[in-house]
Structure 1
C-alpha cells in the first residue's frame, strides 16, 4: 500500500512540472485498478488456526485475492466491538462469531447474508441449523467441530491411586480427597483466565434436562428463569464447594490456562474442568502426554444425571453490506471443501452430517454419545445468552459472593438482556 501511495505522489509532482497533465487521470486510473482486492475476516485474537491459514493460502492462489484476518479481543470487550462495527458500517467482509444466543442478539436479518440456498447447508445437523437460523433464513457456516464441557483427568494419577472415573458428584469429591491426601492438586483452577471458571455451571445442562425435563420449554417461553431450577442452583453450590474444601492449587488466582495444562500433563494436577478443546491442544502440543490425560462428563448428582453438554462451534457470517459478497461465498465454499477433504476425527463430533456419524475418538465420550446421553448448551437453544457468567463464577468460586448471590446475579443479567433484545 505504501508503494502505491508513493507512486501516486510522484505522478502528481511530475504532472505539475511537465506539460500534458491530461495523462494524470489515465495514470491514476491505472494505479487504482492495480490495487489488490482484500477479503477481510473479523475474528477473536488467537483463533486464527492452521486450517484458516491453509484455506487463506489456497484462496489467494485460486482467486488472486489477499485474505486479511482482523483480530479483536475475546469476551465482553470483543462482543462490544462487533456490535459497534455492525452499527457503524465498519464490519469486515466475513465475521467469525458465536452461534446461538450471542449471534441472535446481533439482529442477523439486518446485518448478514442468508445462506439457506447454498448446498452445504443441507449437511448441517439440526441443532446447528437452529443455532444459526431465524425466520426461515440460515446465516452461518461452522468454523470447526463442536466442543464438550467436562473434566480433564490425569490417567497416571488415577491408576497410581486406584481411582475410577466418577459417575456422580459424591464419587468425584471422594476421588478429590484421595488425591489431596496424596499431595497432588485435586482440581486445577486457572482463574487468571476468569472465563475458565464458568464451565461447571455450563456443563450442568444435561442434568437440568434429566431432572427437570419440563424446565427448558418453560424457560424458552420466558415462564421460568434460572432461579426456578434446582440444578442450576446446585451447580453454583458445587463451584463453591471446591473452594471451601480447598481442592484448588494454591496459586489459582494467578494461574492461566497454559500453566494449568502443564500441571495436568506433568501429573501434578488431577482434574481440570474445561472443554474438550483443551484435550485437542494436549494431543497436538504435548505429544509426550497425549495418552496420559483423559476426559469425562461433569458428574451430576446421580449417575442418571451424568451426561455430556455439547457446545456448538463459532461460525462464518457474511456481512450484508460487504462489497465482496460473492467472493465471501466462494471463501465459505472453499473452506467447506477443504474441511471435508482434510477431516480428522476429533474429541468432539462434527456438526456436518456428511462427516460420518456423531462420534468421538475418545472412548468415554463416544459411549455417552452412542447412548444418547447428551444435550446442547443452553446458549444454543435460547435466543439470548446471559452475560457476566465468567465474572459471577469467578466471584463465587473464590468466596467473594455466595452461591445464592451468584444465581440471583446471573438471573438478573439474563433478564436484563432478555428485555433488551427480545421484548
Structure 2
C-alpha cells in the first residue's frame, strides 16, 4: 500500500549525521589516486529511510575505511519516481540507490539500467522468499534495505487479557470477540477515514486469505481473467469493511478520525482492534512506551482456521545502476546491507517493526510485540506478500471505494465491482495483455 508510506515515515525521528553529505552529481568517478573510492547513494527523504540509510552507510564506512559514501536524498511519491526513471535512462544515476521492490521494479527497465546480481555472492544472505520481489525476467537486481511490515489487525493485548479473549483464527471468532468488547463498553474496531488511505487495509491486508483460497489469483488478475467481484475470497475484504460497520462496532466519529487519533485510541485501550500496518508503531514508543508490549498483531481472519496467516509488505531494496564506475565497491556495500552486520546497524538506529529478510538476522530481545508476532507467522510459513508485490495493478480509487463501503454507503458487492472498473482503466494504461 504505497500511499501508506508517507504517514508512516513522517512519524519516525530523523537521525542526522555529518558523515553523509548531499551529492547530486550522479555516479561517482572511479578510485582516487590514493585508492579511496566514493560511492554516491540516492535514498529517500522520509525520516525512516534517512535513518536506516544513515545507519547502514556509517557502519559500512567504519568497516571499510577506503570507501566513502555520499548520500543524496530524493523526494518520494510520483515526483521522486520520475527522477529515478529519468536519471537511469540518461545515465546520470548514483552508483547505488534505494527504490521499491515488487511490481514497480519493472517500470525501471532493469535489464537495461541495473546491474544483474543473479548468482552473485552479494545475495548469499538474502532469504530466498524475498528474491521474487526484486526479480524481473528471471534476473535478480536488489537486496532488502529494511524490515518486513505486517498488515492485519493491531490489537490491544491488555484488553484481550482483561476480557479473557483469544486471538481469532476465523472471521466468526473475530466478530464474536467484537461482541464481547462492545458489551464491555469499549470500541471493538477503530476506523480513521479522515486519512482515507487507512480504509484500504481491510482489503489489501486480506490478500493472504485470497491467495490461500485462490492460489492463482494474482496471475489471473494481472491477465484480466480474475476479478474481485467474481472471486469470493477477493471480495472478502469489502465484506469485512461492511460487516464491522453494520454491527456498529466502529468508534464514534470514525469518518472524521485521523490515523494519529486511531493509534492513540488503540494504545490507550479505548479501542481494541485497528486494521493497520505494524510499521506505524515504533514512532509511538517515545510517547507511549507501553506500545512495545501492549499492542500485538494478527492477520485478518478468514474462513478456514487451518489457513490463518498474515499479509506482509516486503522491504524496499537497494540497487546498483549499470552506469557505476565503482562496481566492486557497490557490490561490497550491497553485501553489507544484506548481512547480519548491516541489520544490526539498522536495529541500533531504528526499532524494527518486523523481521529482516536476511539469513542469520534475529530480532533483538526487546523487539516490539508486533515484530515478534510477525516472526511467528514467518516461521510457520503462514504469510503472503501483498498483491502489489505480485501484480502491477492497483486502482487509484480504492481508498474512496473502501471509505464508502466501510461507512455503509455502498454495498460490499457493489464496491468490489467498482474496484474492478477502477483497475481496468489502469491495466489498459499499462498496456497489459488480456484487458
Task: Answer yes or no: same fold by TM over 0.5.
Answer: yes
**Per-residue deviation, 1:264:** 1.6
* 1:163 alignment partner in structure 2: 165
8 Å CA contact 1:105–1:421 kept in 2: the answer is no
- Asked if the contact 1:386–1:410 (Cα under 8 Å) also holds between the matched residues in 2, the reply is no
Would you say the 8 A contact 1:102–1:385 is kept in 2? Answer: no
Q: Using a 3 Å threshold, how does the CA distance of structure 1 residues 136 and 305 change in structure 2: closer, same or farther?
A: closer
- Taking structure 1 as reference, are residues 64 and 303 closer, same or farther at Cα in structure 2, changes over 3 Å only? closer
- How far apart, CA to CA, are the structure 2 residues paired with 1:392 and 1:328? 44
In the other structure, the counterpart of 2:393 is 385
Given that 2:55 and 2:345 are in contact with CA atoms closer than 8 Å, whether structure 1 keeps it comes out as no
Matched residue, 1:298: 300
Flag the 1:90–1:408 CA change in 2: closer, same or farther, 3 A. Answer: farther
1:197 Cα shift?
Answer: 1.9
- 1:129 aligned residue: 131
In 1: Cα distance, 2:330 partner to 2:255 partner = 42
Larger Rg: 1
Comparing 107-116 and 84-93, the one that deviates more? 84-93
1:67 equivalent among 61, 65, 70: 70
**Aligned runs of 1:337-348 on 2, under 5 Å?**
337=339, 338-342=341-345, 348=354
Name the structure 2 match of 1:232.
Answer: 234
Aligned to 1:273: 275
Give 1:403's aligned residue.
412
- Counterpart mapping for 1:18-417 below 5 A: 39-43=40-44, 45-58=46-59, 62-63=65-66, 65=68, 67-74=70-77, 79=81, 82-83=84-85, 86=88, 91-213=93-215, 215-216=217-218, 218-219=220-221, 222-282=224-284, 286-321=288-323, 327-337=329-339, 338-342=341-345, 348-355=354-361, 364-382=373-391, 384-388=392-396, 389-399=398-408, 401-417=410-426
In structure 2, runs of 5+ residues without a counterpart are 1-36
How many residue pairs are counted as aligned between the two chains? 385
Tell whether the 8 Å contact from 1:297 to 1:308 is kept in structure 2 after alignment: yes
> Which residue of 2 is the match for residue 4 of structure 1?
none
Range moving further from structure 2, 220-229 or 165-174: 220-229
Cα distance in 1, alignment partners of residues 45 and 175 from structure 2 = 36
Q: Deviations over 1:134-169 (max 9, x none)?
A: 223211111112222111111121222232222211
TM-aligned CA deviation for residue 271 of structure 1: 0.9
Cα distance in 2 for residues equivalent to 1:305 and 1:59:
41
Contact kept? 1:310, 1:376, Cα under 8 Å: yes
Residues 1:79 and 1:125: Cα distance change in structure 2 (over 3 Å): same
TM-score of the superposed pair, with normalisation by structure 1: 0.77
Cα gap change, 1:63 to 1:181, in 2 (>3 Å): farther
Q: TM-score with structure 2 length normalisation? A: 0.75
Cα deviation, residue 296, structure 1: 1.3
Q: Deviations over 1:311-347 (max 9, x none)?
A: 2111112333456655544432343344255476956
Judged with a 3 Å threshold, the aligned counterparts in structure 2 of structure 1 residues 399 and 218 are, in CA distance, closer, same or farther, namely same
CA distance, structure 1, for counterparts of residue 216 and residue 324 of structure 2: 43
Q: Which has the higher helix share?
A: 1
| Separation in structure 1 between the aligned mates of residue 110 and residue 401 of structure 2, nearest angstrom | 28
- How far apart, in 1, do the equivalents of 2:85 and 2:378 lie? 36
- Aligned with 1:372: secondary structure? coil
- How far apart are residue 230 of structure 1 and its match? 0.6
Unaligned runs of 5+ in 1: 1-35
Closer, same or farther in 2 for the Cα pair 1:44/1:115, shift >3 Å? farther
Shift of 1:202: 1.6
Alpha-carbon RMSD across the aligned residues, in angstroms, is 3.4
- Residue aligned with 1:228, SS: coil
Structure 2 CA distance, aligned partners of 1:253 and 1:69? Answer: 39
1:300 Cα offset (Å): 0.8
Pick which of 144-153 and 253-262 moved more: 253-262
SS at the partner of 2:338? helix
Provide the secondary structure at the position in 2 that maps to 1:310: strand
